[in-house]
Amino acid sequence: MLVESPPVSALPFDNLYRHGFVRAAMAVPVLALAHPAANARAAIAELARADAQGAALLLLPELGLTGYSTEDLLLQSAMLEAAEDAIASIAQASRAHRTLLLLGAPLRHGHSVFNCAVAIQRGRILGVVPKSYLPNYREFYEKRQIAPAAAAPADSIRIAGQQAPFGTDLLFAAEDLPDFIAHVEICEDLWAPIPPSTAGALAGATVLCNMSGSPITVGKAEDRRVLCDAQSRRCIAAYLYCAAGAGESTTDLAWDGQLTAFEYGAALGESARFADTVQRIFVDIDVERMVAERRRVGTFRDAAMAHPATFRRIAFRLDAPAGPLPLARAIPRFPYVPDESERLDQDCYETWNIQVTGLLTRLSATGLKKLVIGVSGGLDSTQALIVAARTMDRLGLPRSNIVAVTMPGFATSDGTKSAAWALMRGLGVDAREVDIRPLCTQLLHDLGHPGPPQYDITFENVQAGIRTDYLFRLANHSGGLVVGTGDLSELALGWCTYGVGDHMSHYNVNASLPKTLIQHMIRWAITTAQYGADVCATLETILATEISPELVPPDATGAVQSTQARIGPYELQDFHLYHILRWGFRPSKVAFLALSAWGDATRGAWPRGIDSEARHQYDLPTIKHWLSLFLRRFFETSQFKRSAVPNGPKISSGGSLSPRGDWRAPSDSRPDAWLEELERNTP
């Protein structure tokens, strides 16, 4: 959220409007009660500020030209005439600004006074939207002065020398930003069982605005947040809320000036409350994401078909800033791992229990009493093993019913082997060790492979294949079920061998966990003391170990085989995976988001457990390099592996790659369209 000035960038690529975002401003000026001319000057100042910050929209409070608490003064001709004169002055001043202004004012129309939102841009009064639902209970008596929208005598109004559309059926659509379509409702409209913004969203609006009077009482601020959040989720839209503040009469009420904004359930920003000075916030809204999600969620389309509504689209041209304009909003570096500690705890708790419940149910359904798992001393098998241990606890079975086997090969280090044994002993499982080197040597000989030092794909996969074959035969022999360990990140990048342990099992508890989430799940197991101190100490050791398949011995310098040196940093590739799998974004937009998130290691929050020495940053060439590799592996070379994965529970809305669930794709597609888009639109 931007409060005043956005960060500075020298890259033209770094312009939020190029990537499907729009900047919205909300402000609560200090009100001059019943003085429209003074309030008009304040509105003009806020409009100029919003335009200078690159905002496409500025939302001000309900009846902001006069004040919500003016009561019977709204029936005074002098007040109404002054409000209309103020609108004329604002329209004139707006000629110099691109920003769409949504301003609250009382307007005469026919035999009534209406509580209205007036849309103004570049000198033109685009339209006037009257309030639909007038509260007339407890402290509210709006029907004494105001007529509801249904009483409108005509669908247009003459104001400030212009004829403008009038009604609740107006959408304000930027013709040069087709995904930016605004709808406005007023205060009580949001509290209705079916808010007008619902129809507006079904008709295409992506930014839903509420200008509100809304006097404050204890607990009401949270009620507003909940309603705004829910409406943004239900409508797959952004929802902006602007309440009246300083300057309103406190005869019998008080005002807090709450500004809050949500985008499809994500909080974008909120202002201070009970301020004595003007309050304003700027938020960057991903309107392209809303449109893409509506295409994906068929229920939204079906609802639009079931509840057709005719809206008038009022077109305007924004001519958004063309130069550098970086995002002011924070983009999470770890989209699968929340920054907030409370949310992280909740997500880890749910992930843990989804994994345990999935394995428990599968084991119960088969009637088997034993689990078989290969333990390498790495992250994935560690997470699978501690989940298996808790599953046995839940079933009331001894952990010795888990047959855990570590299978050292040609490149297994003493460190990972020791960690595997320490973990197995600490958990009290049936711990075993099988040296696979004799079998591998024989198989390599039978294949006519010379063995070391020819460290090729055959050399690596012979080891992986023998380990997997042993586990399945051990499961047959012991009457057990093989637990898979491969994770979502490996499956996305094709960093798994077809038919072996990181790909095939009877049931894979890690199937939809990305590597970054597995790391945090292990940290969570430590911080919540899921197991004893000795196990937690081992988990700490495993977290600190280089991610490696350990299939090839260290080189002459002693450097171990590094997974991330081959396929990219998991923290960056998981970022790419999330935005491509969950949202279907264009690669250039993913690169823009990655640069916004990772371009400065000092900016924004980090999830718990990421210490300062592990906080990396990536420049655009690095991001582009690893994203290109991701696109090739994801779209061209790896789908055939994903088409044959075992069962495993879906963990998050971030998606899974099961061919029976989130991702159905051909095994023979080409990545050219994605690579060409990245190259064409990224410097």
DSSP 107-139: EEETTEEEEEEEEEETTEEEEEEE-S----STT
Tokens 């005598």 belong to 153
Question: Is 417 noted as a catalytic residue in this protein?
Answer: no
Task: Tell me if residue 360 falls in helix, strand or coil.
Answer: helix
Question: Is 187 noted as a catalytic residue in this protein?
Answer: yes
What contacts 476, CB < 8 A, 6 or more positions away?
A: none
Given the DSSP bridges, would you call strands 370-374 and 207-212 parallel, antiparallel or unpaired? Answer: unpaired
Tokens 């070391």 belong to 452
**In angstroms, how far is CA 198 from the centroid of its own chain?**
22
Question: Is 62 noted as a catalytic residue in this protein?
Answer: yes
**Cα–Cα distance measured from residue 25 to residue 98, given in angstroms and rounded to the nearest whole number:** 13
Closest CA to 88 of 34, 36, 161: 161
List, in sequence order, the alpha helices (H) in 273-374.
287-296, 298-306, 341-366
For residue 85, CA distances in Å to 38, 103, 160 come to 12, 14, 7
Residue 544: exposed, middle, or buried by beta-carbon count in 10 A (0-12, 13-18, 19+)?
exposed
Residue 138: exposed, middle, or buried by beta-carbon count in 10 A (0-12, 13-18, 19+)?
exposed
CA angle 621, 626, 632 (to 5 degrees): 125
Q: Which of 46, 84, 142, 187 is catalytic?
A: 187
Given the DSSP bridges, would you call strands 266-270 and 507-508 parallel, antiparallel or unpaired? Answer: unpaired
Q: Which of 46, 84, 116, 131 is catalytic?
A: 131
Helix or strand (DSSP H, E) at 432: strand 430-433
Helix or strand (DSSP H, E) at 416: helix 414-427
What contacts 223, CB < 8 A, 6 or more positions away?
A: none
For residue 25, CA distances in Å to 2, 6, 7, 668 come to 9, 13, 16, 46
For residue 377, CA distances in Å to 358, 421, 464, 557 come to 23, 8, 15, 23
Closest CA to 110 of 158, 174, 48, 70: 158
Q: Which of 62, 84, 248, 288 is catalytic?
A: 62
Residue 491 in contact with residue 481, Cβ under 8 Å?
no
Helix or strand (DSSP H, E) at 461: helix 457-478
Helix or strand (DSSP H, E) at 270: strand 266-270
CA angle 344, 350, 356 (to 5 degrees): 135
Helices 457-478, 437-447: crossing angle, 10 deg rounding: 120
**Cα–Cα distance measured from residue 205 to residue 34, given in angstroms and rounded to the nearest whole number:** 33
Nearest-10 Cα torsion for 267, 273, 275, 279: 20
**Cα–Cα distance measured from residue 245 to residue 275, given in angstroms and rounded to the nearest whole number:** 8
| Residues with a known catalytic role | 62, 131, 187
